Structure 1
Amino acid sequence: MKTILKYNFSFLLLLITLVSCSTEEKKSQTKADTRVNNAPNIILFVSDDHGTDAIGAYGNKVIKTPNLDQLAAEGVRFENAYCTSASCAASRSVILTGLYGHATGSYGHVHDYHHFSSYDNIKSLPVLLENSGYETARIGKYHVAPESVYHFQKVLEADPRNTVEMAEQCKDVLNSDKPFFLYFCTDDPHRGAPFESDPWNLPNSFGNKKEGYNGVETVTYDPKDVVVPSFLPDSQESREEIAQYYQSISRIDQGFGKLMKMLKDTGKDKNTIVIYISDNGMAFPGAKTTVYEPGIKLPCIIKDPLANIKGGSVNNALISWTDLTPTILDMADISYDSNDFHGKSFKKIMGEENPKGWDEVYASHTFHEITMYYPMRVVRDKNYKLIRNIAWRQEYPFASDLWAASTWQEVYRSEKEYFGKRKVKDYLFRPEFELFDLSKDPDESNNLANDANYTDVLEALKTKMKAFQKETKDPWLITWDHDNSLQGTGVNL
């Protein structure tokens, strides 16, 4: 009898436990379902080689970007947003992981024989969002690998030079019953193939076509009207290429406008966070593939209708593309371990013009093409910026499209002394350290590294750079006094 009672009591305890667990699971699931149902949609719109030099909202009075300007009028414009590497694939890996490329194996280009690829244990933004109930979709330029790391549930197809067509292909995603993450990546305004013109002084097309694109109004610019950035030579060749660059950007703007109209038509615009950025600066020598300001200081415009931030706000915080993944997760109210990312969320300071504690940023470039080994590390602390050219003894290597650019060839073929405000020899042959005071020298033309008056500044920034490399497990830490503290045994255990 006692045995029977004992078994019955044990069974009752088990039944109570199972019911209790089931109830808790249902509560947890209900809570998760509620969070997912209330989660904001997210659109991350990434252009290819677009600098702050060519957006109306950033001060260019010539270029026509009414839709991007409207986004800035309704959202927040960041004045000091930085990619970490001015190279397409390397930069995109950072955008989608919150980690510097030197820590993930994403050292340079993915395609063709370059074949750089992220480690297979990396957890990317789309995967983290999918695991939290989001529908994830991408369209346009991908340029990261492997697919298992950067997995999206839906891959949409369209001409990546026709952003209007791209927007139209996103209709089903915008009407999704689940919260969605749309990764919208154009090929514009990247230089167009073929890179070499015949004759050499013809401007690159930047993807523009005489016949235009279906659904897109062709917006052209007169070379005499364009704004030539100070780091470029003010030549006919430069002006003609900038005019083509502007035309490509106006095509982006129309597609962006189309996407925003479609979003509004769904009624989801009040619950959708929209982020506009670029992967790196304009595809001209002195910008793309460099860590000078035109290469890494980029547009970042964010509209978060749930954040109650005044439209037209300006934020002067120094932010990095390593901050994007944790910020987006934070916006989506998805919990994460902050130690999993090199960046940090800037969600809470978006509405502040001059937030405290956001006055430092780092950059890390190693490759563009595999033949372009030229590792550079950067620290910017307030107005001081230090660049370390690790391979400074070799000539600065050119990206194939930038070498062929008529803007460069005009200077090269004429054997001119200057390219913009820099001497050609100084652009090609750089010292190990370049130190600039950006408040007095925004063009980065006066290197203070050998000035005795700035010895303390130089040493302080070197210390910060070493600490950054150690903290982010940068293999190139070894180039400081053969420091091999990050190197393993060479044996897989």
Structure 2
Amino acid sequence: MKKQLFNSPVIILVLSVLLFSNCGTKEKPTQVEEQSNNSPNIILFVSDDHGTDAIGAYGNKVIKTPNLDQLAAEGVRFNNAYCTSASCAASRSVILTGLYGHATGSYGHVHDYHHFSSYDNIKSLPVLLENSGYETARIGKYHVAPESVYHFQKVLEADPRNTVEMAEQCKEVLNSDKPFFLYFCTDDPHRGAPFESDPWNLPNSFGNKKEGYEGVETITYDPKDVVVPSFLPDSQESREEIAQYYQSVSRIDQGFGKLMKMLKETGKDKNTIVIYISDNGMAFPGAKTTVYEPGIKLPCIIKDPLANLKVGSVNNALVSWTDLTPTILDMADVTYDSNEFHGKSFKKIMGEENPKGWNEVYASHTFHEITMYYPMRVVRNKNYKLIRNIAWRQEYPFASDLWAASTWQEVYRSDKEFFGKRKVKDYLFRPEFELFDLSNDPDESKNLANDKNYAEVLEALKNKMKAFQLKTKDPWLITWDHDNSLQGTGVNL
């Protein structure tokens, strides 16, 4: 039986602040119970740099994603699902812990000299599920550290650009005698190496190859047919790159379809929860590495055959990747202390289109590459969204792959005034606060922070942001008023 929480809002607030303040810094045991073989299997399928702009189920009538569309037709499509940082490693740490990266030390990339790593006392989702009797396995992109924190019992090998091959390597896991948790992570549709084209105006490959991939049908797109999102310039370079991006997404879809076919052949599809998400938005300037909507508002499609939900339903709750770990534990019927996570389970409201109390999310970005220090904190409350650019006095830094993108280079080399609907100078040099009314300005093009008519809204969201940073023990809280109470003394006592 799961633990009952106190009903008093005051008690909840006090306990939350006290308990959250210890996340990532003090060892705390997590109680889990051994599960029976009747526990549901769970597949968490995570693509790399895939936005809602490139899935048929989210309204794109050009791209071919029949298998993902089928998942949405059989499950629940979330319309307001957010990552907390539009950066691969930082986002993945949140997905697997239910904690913001600023509280776990997962400030940015793991690989090479970036070397950001989670604190070694963090309890991750695969470890918690293993402790409760699950067989855990991963395949494809990992991009978190250390391994002792993000431990999986099985590590499967395949070309992470060939999702059909990846699916085939999962056969043994799908046939497991124990309930399984499969973490399936593609490299698609991330930009492909080399990032710099020669000549500069050639589109990036997005992992596509002329010879294609074994077992995968190569689906190509005519640049004139693609849908150019409003935040991008409608140029030949943009269209050619989006066409490559679409091709990579269609490869994901085929691998996903293969995996679902194999699952059905095992007879376990009626007892397997399938979740499709991405780590951040499309790999174009204005999306990935930003906290604008194209960077952090992402696909989230869930099929839970055990929940008796209306098929093909939609859910408009504002949910966050911090919510995924507690939600999955809840789905697996694993007993846990909800106060150990920054997010909360949305299992009970999955079948509701407009559930009450789910109208606020937060985001926290600090680094992408180590050379890209640009901390940003975000609160979205209903339709108002506040961004605080903590390092606003410096030029906005570019990810190396996005700088080399022909989509950006066409604007940069031509010295154009606009990049999409935003002026280039406004993209590169941002004010400390950006306030948007998303109901009237979905493109986030009109900053209301200096509008006196929105002074009360601005102040209210600032207070929410400060409270969030205090509650989640964000070291960057100090940048408001030099309050160093969250820091240690620097002296070993």
Aligned equivalent of 1:403? 403
Label 1:202 to 1:96 Cα distance change in 2 as closer, same or farther (>3 A): same
Cα distance between partner residues in 2 of 1:370 and 1:420: 27
Question: What percent of counterpart residues are identical?
Answer: 90
CA contact (8 A) 2:223 2:243 kept: yes
SS of structure 2 residue aligned to 1:204: coil
- 1:354-391 Cα offsets, whole Å, 9 max, x none, are 00000000000000000000000000000000000000
Q: Tell me, which stretches of 5 or more residues in structure 1 are unaligned?
A: none
Cα distance between partner residues in 2 of 1:192 and 1:144: 20
Aligned equivalent of 2:136? 136
Q: Tell me, which stretches of 5 or more residues in structure 2 are unaligned?
A: none
SS of structure 1 residue aligned to 2:34: helix
Cα distance between partner residues in 2 of 1:12 and 1:295: 31
Give the CA deviation at 1:479.
0.1
TM-score, normalised to structure 2, is: 0.93
Cα distance between partner residues in 2 of 1:358 and 1:94: 19
Give the CA deviation at 1:36.
1.8
CA contact (8 A) 2:73 2:312 kept: yes
Label 1:109 to 1:22 Cα distance change in 2 as closer, same or farther (>3 A): closer
Cα distance between partner residues in 2 of 1:19 and 1:356: 24
SS of structure 2 residue aligned to 1:116: coil
Aligned equivalent of 1:279? 279
- 1:253-305 Cα offsets, whole Å, 9 max, x none, are 00000000000000000000000000000000000000000000000000000
Give the CA deviation at 1:8.
56
Label 1:357 to 1:7 Cα distance change in 2 as closer, same or farther (>3 A): closer
Give the CA deviation at 1:25.
27
Give the CA deviation at 1:35.
4.0
- 1:332-372 Cα offsets, whole Å, 9 max, x none, are 00000011000000000000000000000000000000000
Label 1:266 to 1:392 Cα distance change in 2 as closer, same or farther (>3 A): same
More helix by percentage? 1
CA contact (8 A) 1:67 1:256 kept: yes
Give the CA deviation at 1:37.
1.2
- 1:424-444 Cα offsets, whole Å, 9 max, x none, are 000000000000000000000
Cα distance between partner residues in 2 of 1:226 and 1:147: 40
Aligned equivalent of 1:340? 340
Cα distance between partner residues in 1 of 2:179 and 2:20: 31
Who wins on radius of gyration, i.e. which is larger? 1
Label 1:198 to 1:383 Cα distance change in 2 as closer, same or farther (>3 A): same
Label 1:415 to 1:120 Cα distance change in 2 as closer, same or farther (>3 A): same
Label 1:35 to 1:223 Cα distance change in 2 as closer, same or farther (>3 A): same
Cα distance between partner residues in 2 of 1:490 and 1:388: 28
Label 1:259 to 1:390 Cα distance change in 2 as closer, same or farther (>3 A): same
Cα distance between partner residues in 1 of 2:323 and 2:253: 25
CA contact (8 A) 1:36 1:134 kept: no
Cα distance between partner residues in 2 of 1:4 and 1:401: 46
Cα distance between partner residues in 1 of 2:231 and 2:307: 37
Cα distance between partner residues in 2 of 1:14 and 1:209: 54
Aligned length: 490
CA contact (8 A) 2:20 2:472 kept: no
SS of structure 1 residue aligned to 2:188: coil
Label 1:281 to 1:15 Cα distance change in 2 as closer, same or farther (>3 A): closer
SS of structure 1 residue aligned to 2:435: strand
Label 1:3 to 1:452 Cα distance change in 2 as closer, same or farther (>3 A): closer
Give the CA deviation at 1:52.
0.1
CA contact (8 A) 1:329 1:335 kept: yes
- 1:403-450 Cα offsets, whole Å, 9 max, x none, are 000000000000000000000000000000000000000000000000
Cα distance between partner residues in 2 of 1:411 and 1:122: 43
Cα distance between partner residues in 1 of 2:94 and 2:52: 20
Give the CA deviation at 1:34.
8.7
- 1:158-199 Cα offsets, whole Å, 9 max, x none, are 000000000000000000000000000000000000000000
Cα distance between partner residues in 2 of 1:22 and 1:402: 32
Label 1:22 to 1:365 Cα distance change in 2 as closer, same or farther (>3 A): closer
SS of structure 2 residue aligned to 1:455: helix
Cα distance between partner residues in 2 of 1:386 and 1:205: 35
Give the CA deviation at 1:22.
37
CA contact (8 A) 1:77 1:301 kept: yes
CA contact (8 A) 2:35 2:133 kept: no
Cα distance between partner residues in 1 of 2:239 and 2:30: 60
CA contact (8 A) 2:16 2:471 kept: no
Correspondences of 1:352-391 after superposition (within 5 Å):
352-391=352-391
SS of structure 1 residue aligned to 2:27: helix
- 1:15-52 Cα offsets, whole Å, 9 max, x none, are 999999999999999xx999421100000000000000
Aligned equivalent of 2:49? 49
SS of structure 1 residue aligned to 2:385: strand
